[in-house]
Each structure stands twice: as structure tokens, then as C-alpha cells.
Chain A
Amino acid sequence: MSTSTQQLTIVSIYPTLLGTYGDGGNVLALAHRARLRGYEVTTVSVAPGEAVPVSADLYVLGGGEDTAQTAAARALIADGGLARAAAGGSPIFAVCAGYQLLGHTFPTADDSAVAGLGLLDVATSRLPRRAVGEVSSLPSPHAPDGLDAPLLGYENHAGQTTVGPGASPLGIVTHGVGNGDGTEGAFTGRTLGTYLHGPCLARNPRLADLLLSWALGVQLDDLVEPEVEQLRAERLRFLAQS
């Protein structure tokens, strides 16, 4: 942790492979909210084949197409850096394909199962029908402290994700599909995955702050930005009408 020096290092894992749905926005949102609190932020993008640094403060994975997802999982398993970072207690935030590949298995385009990293106790098979559209959830009873607002995003995936006993669902779906069983996302310790893109952390600042507080080891004061609140209010109105 680098609290004493007021520094934050965020690692963006394979943004060239896992960045189909504006996922770079999650890194921007984390950096933005940390800077507003006076932290100096360094963002490191790691390309496949490069070693994942093990001592960073926070790791972010995005979504990607089937072949990119498989390639990313293989490269991360071969490298081993992300697993060591997780074992060392560093927070990991993963969206969609990134979420799936943190689990035990996920399906390829031809429905064969590919091994994930096993950092989250979830397993993903194929939904009967692709889930595409607005998605919202309320924080589940197990959700980490600090999450008390609806989680809002957009989903576009074909994954049916089962959360095992070693993890907890992040949210209870109020609109959309999520994991496919009425829950959305999963977390264990400081490893957290979700199907929400949009990107997720720009739309859900409390989730961004939760990850930052894990990364920095401090409680963060509330920080409300009118643009973000207007967007959330507009999306909630839209969901109420649809």
C-alpha cells in the first residue's frame, strides 16, 4: 500500500484484448476520483506477453470477444502475476469477459469449457439467449459495506454464471439478466466481478470508492459530482418507464 506517499498505482490488464465496451472508462473513473482526493495516480497498461506487476494497488480487467477472452486467460495463467497480486491482498475489479475469466471455467464460441484463473469461486456456462440491455441491481445482503445505492449499467454477454460457496453475489437484479439466476456479479475478499459495463465505475461512483478504499487502506469521504448524479437519475427514470 502506498498511503503514506499519497500515491496510487492502477494496473489495466490487457486493454487491447479486454476493452470492447469502453472499459478504459473504469480506469479513468478510478484515477479521476483518486485525484480529486489528492492522490497522485499512475496507470500502467499491461499488454499480453508482458509481466503483470505484483505490487500495484489495484487491478482492472474489462470485457472482450470470445477469442480475446481465451487468449487473455491463457496469458494470465502463464504469467501468474495477477494470482500473486490477489494472494497479496490487492483488489481486482473485472467486468464481463474479465469477470468470467477470474472464475473456474467459461465457455468458448463452440461451447467448450476454458479454464479461468480460479480467483473467484464462480463458473460460467452459456445462457440460452444472449443478455443485451440495461441492467440494474440492488446491493445483495452480502455486499461489502459502503455499497448502498443501485448499481446501474449495460450488459451484453451470453454467460450464465453460478456463484459458489467461496464467493458472494454482488447484487440482486432489478432489471436485466446479470448472472442469470437473479443475482449479479460476485466478490470474495477484494476480488470483485460484474457484468455491468457502461462503464461501470463512472456510473457507480460508490463502487469506485469502495475499490479505492480497499486499494488505499483508508475510508474516503463522500464525493458527489452533479453530472454523475444527473446521469444516474436519468437512467433510473428510464428503467422505471421500461
Chain B
Amino acid sequence: MPPAAEFTDSTSPRGRLRLSTRTAIRAGRWAAGASRRLGKGEGMVVGGRVMMRLAPHLIEDLAGDRVAALVSATNGKTSTTRLLAMAVSQTGSVLTQETGANMTSGVAVALADGDRDAPAVLEVDEAYLPLLAPQLRPRVILLANLSRDQLDRMNEVAMTARKWRVMLRGLPDVTVVANADDPVIAYAASDHPHVVWVAAGQVWTADAVACPDCGDLLSRDGSDWSCPGCSRSRPEPRWRLEYSADPANTASRAVCGEDVYNLSDLSLPGRFNAANATMALAVCEELGLDLDRSVQLMNGVAAVSGRYATVVVGSLRIRLLLAKNPAGWSELFDVMPPAPTPVIVTINSNAADGKDPSWLWDVPFEKLRGRTVIATGDRRYDLAVRLLHAEVDHHVIADPYRPDADLPAGVRDLEVIDCAATYTAFHGLRTRADREAKR
């Protein structure tokens, strides 16, 4: 991100903002600049905090009535937001986060930074959504999935769903686009008067075993589900994703009544991105956009904040994959080239990764059998023990990118090698690639 441009135009004299908001934005810009000059990062968090301290109503003031949509989920927030923002760009410029910063400061800075007349499409952290949605007053809220993630700091899944449910009670005028195939999402949205249900699929079901309402075990039949205890069941979807996983011919399409939209030309890989696009398309319909044009624009999104981007780190060319929890992992194996192609897996346990890597044991790493895995990251030894039990061949290497690293046979011959990384490892690799490219 170009640091100096972060807050440009934020105080343009349009006269619609309260004086305290304008003052707060100036102070936030100053604080962010000071933080950057002191070498403490991009200054977004500090800038956002200063702004919010000086003008607690700042987000409400900057949001006005221009927030088109909010996107929240455990997985796919950033990708779905980018797909949707690209589709909305058919009407002109769009305000969205460039960095994926999706808590209070990130949202405040994004709003203060951008074009004040542009519609906003924003991703919001699932724990912050109940706080931010009433201030942002969006036309549409997209709720895609909830599963276990960073349990050392986050709420349990059912608790988040209960908080969303209470939040939606206070937002009767918003339209909710929700995944009917995720029983936890269905529970969160089911009482709302205007829900557009999308059958977007659910591959990881381990966090939706018991009914979030009554606790009985759910009955499942394919993507259909129902609760024998309280008679909740999968809502009838308006939209559905049809996905063929045949490796020779993966095909996907979004279907709404008689209308069929081909999603096979999406640049982003995998079933989950077809699901993200289907949900984004349902939002586009609610926003009155041209849906064929929306698909065309979404097809052009190739890499989202570094996800799926190919970068050079040290002596290796890697394709970056973000893999931060069991649900995300469970769909990631399918986008990797088949065995025996080796892969790199990087596991960290900083605060943003979750400090407890126990979740590695919920990931079906057995699917990597037949390949060699390069295990790296701060928690490479935890990964190695997991791979040992999964009977996956592995090499533990602290820094596989060094020219003298002792890599498994064949790795240096690969044109590009997939590297699945947790959040801070992923960003560390992006930063390192950027830094090395500038040399």
C-alpha cells in the first residue's frame, strides 16, 4: 500500500461531515504518519484508533447511506469482498478495503480514505460485525459460513451465531444473503424478514453437527439438513451453486430459477471460490446490477491480496495459498496439483494465526500422502508430528528459500511450488517477496 496516499481526500470540503469527524480524520492521519515514521508499520491501527477516540460516531458519519454490502464469514471474506467489489464497479468507482483490515480501525480508515461518493463494499471480521453493522447500515449483509478458527481468542461458533441473530433483530430493513447449507448461518439469519438463501455448499461440517438452537444432532442427506429436535431445516434456496469436481473438467455455475450463470471461467480456483462468487452474485441481484456483466468482472479477479499469487522468495518460485483453519484446509487440497508434486506447508502460531495449533489435528493431512511436504514456519515441529501420524513423507526445514537449503529431490526442478501458509506466515512471505523484488 502506498503509505502517503492512505488518507488523501478524507477532508475534502464537501461539508457533509461533522466538524469532529473532520478533526478526527486529520488527527488520525497525523498519528498514522507518525507511526509510519517511527517504523511501526502502516499506521492503520493507530490512525483508526485515534479517529475513533476523537469521534466515536465517525464510522456512522462516514458511512452515511452509501454502504452497499458487508461480507462476513470465517473463510472467504477477503475473496468474496473483492469479487463483489469488482462486480459493483460496473456502476463506477467502489470503496473497499485494499488490505483486508476488517476490524474497527480497518473499516474506519477505509471509509476515511476513499472516494466519499462511491458505494462501499466492506468485509467485516465475524466478531466485530455486531458492533459495526448498525453503524454502517448496509443495504445487504452477506453471511457465508462459520467454523472453528483461532479458538484461543475467538468465540465458540454457536456464540457468534447467537450474537449475529441478536444483531439482525436490530436491522430489520437490511437484506441478508445467507448460505442455506450452513446450519449455523441458517440459525443466525432464520428469523430475519428478508433473507435471500443461497445453497453455496458446506464441505467442513464438523462445527455444524448439533443444532445451534436446541442442541439435538442434525440429520443430513447430502447438502440437505434438518433438526429432529426443533424441526429446523435447510431453507429453500433462491440461488444455488452447481459444481462438478471432475478433475478433468471442473465446471461450476450459479442457478437462480430459470437463469444460469456460468462460473467456470473464474480465475480464482476451487469450489469455495465458485461458492463465494455465487453468494456475491446473489448480492448483485439485490443491488440491481447486471448479472452477466457481474460474472464477467468477477472472472477477471486473479489474485486477492496475494492469495493464489505466484511470487519469488529466495531461490523458489511459489504459489501462495492462505490456509488458516480446518475448514479452509479441507477445500485447499483440491486446488493443489496432484501427488507426487511436493508442497510447502508453513505453520505459525502468532496472535493472528491462533496461538494454539491443535487445529492441525482436525485437518485431513492424510490427503497429502504420496507427496513430500516441506514443513516450515515457527510450528514446523508440530506439523512434522502431525504429518508423521498422517503417514506423509516430510522434511523439516527452517528456511527452505535459502539457496543452500537441503530440499527434497525434484523441488528445485519445479517451475512453481504451492505454499500453503497460515496468516502471519502468508504475509511474511509476501513481504519478503516484495522486499527481494526491489533489490
Q: Chain B residues near A32: list those with CB within 8 A.
A: 388-389
- Interface presence of A28 (CB below 8 A): yes
Q: Chain B residues near A228: list those with CB within 8 A.
A: 385, 388
Q: Chain B residues near A202: list those with CB within 8 A.
A: 361, 385-386, 389
A16 touching B217 in the complex, CB below 8 Å, given contacts A25-B361, A32-B389, A234-B381: yes
Residues 55 to 77 of chain A near chain B (Cβ within 8 Å): 65, 67-68, 70-71
Residues 192 to 251 of chain B near chain A (Cβ within 8 Å): 206, 209-210, 215, 217
B151 smallest CB distance to A (angstroms): 6
A231 touching B382 in the complex, CB below 8 Å, given contacts A67-B158, A199-B358: yes
Majority-rule SS of A interface residues: mixed
Residues 348 to 395 of chain B near chain A (Cβ within 8 Å): 355-356, 358-362, 381-382, 384-386, 388-389
Q: Chain A residues near B356: list those with CB within 8 A.
A: 21, 154, 156, 197-198
**Cβ-defined contact, A71 with B355, below 8 A:** no
Q: How far is the CA of A24 from the CA of B358 in the complex (A)?
A: 10
Q: Chain B residues near A29: list those with CB within 8 A.
A: 389
**Cβ-defined contact, B209 with A16, below 8 A:** yes
Q: How far is the CA of A213 from the CA of B360 in the complex (A)?
A: 27
Task: Determine the residue in chain B with the shortest Cβ distance to A68.
Answer: B210
A22 touching B381 in the complex, CB below 8 Å, given contacts A156-B356, A227-B388: no
Task: Determine the residue in chain B with the shortest Cβ distance to A25.
Answer: B361
A173 smallest CB distance to B (angstroms): 18
B92 smallest CB distance to A (angstroms): 45
Which listed residue (B158, B362, B382, B396) contacts A65, Cβ 8 A? B158
A50 smallest CB distance to B (angstroms): 11
**Cβ-defined contact, B217 with A48, below 8 A:** yes
Which residue of B148, B153, B215, B358 has the most chain A CB atoms within 10 A of its CB atom? B358
- Interface presence of A17 (CB below 8 A): yes
Which residue of B156, B362, B385 has the most chain A CB atoms within 10 A of its CB atom? B385
**Cβ-defined contact, A16 with B206, below 8 A:** yes
- Interface presence of B191 (CB below 8 A): no
**Cβ-defined contact, A230 with B396, below 8 A:** yes
Could you give, for residues 222-242 of chain A, a 1 whenever the CB lies within 8 Å of some chain B CB and a 0 otherwise? 000101101100100000000
Q: How far is the CA of A161 from the CA of B387 in the complex (A)?
A: 34
- Interface presence of B152 (CB below 8 A): yes
A19 touching B206 in the complex, CB below 8 Å, given contacts A25-B361, A230-B384, A231-B385: yes
Q: How far is the CA of A125 from the CA of B135 in the complex (A)?
A: 39
**Cβ-defined contact, B388 with A225, below 8 A:** yes
Q: Chain B residues near A230: list those with CB within 8 A.
A: 381, 384, 396
**Cβ-defined contact, A227 with B385, below 8 A:** yes
Q: Chain B residues near A71: list those with CB within 8 A.
A: 210, 215
Task: Determine the residue in chain B with the shortest Cβ distance to A15.
Answer: B206
Q: How far is the CA of A48 from the CA of B152 in the complex (A)?
A: 27
- Interface presence of A49 (CB below 8 A): yes
**Cβ-defined contact, A24 with B362, below 8 A:** yes
Q: How far is the CA of A28 from the CA of B148 in the complex (A)?
A: 21
**Cβ-defined contact, A231 with B158, below 8 A:** no
A-side interface residues toward B, CB under 8 Å? 16-17, 19-25, 28-29, 32, 47-49, 65, 67-68, 70-71, 132-133, 154, 156, 197-199, 202-203, 225, 227-228, 230-231, 234
Closest 9 CB pairs of A and B: A22-B361, A25-B361, A22-B358, A231-B381, A16-B209, A21-B358, A227-B384, A154-B356, A227-B388
Q: Can you give 23 contacting A-B residue pairs, CB < 8 Å?
A: A16-B209, A16-B210, A17-B210, A19-B206, A20-B148, A21-B151, A22-B362, A25-B386, A28-B361, A49-B217, A65-B156, A65-B158, A67-B158, A70-B215, A71-B215, A154-B355, A197-B356, A199-B361, A202-B389, A203-B385, A225-B388, A227-B385, A231-B381
A156-B356, A199-B358 are known; give 5 further A-B pairs, CB within 8 A: A19-B206, A49-B217, A154-B356, A197-B358, A231-B381
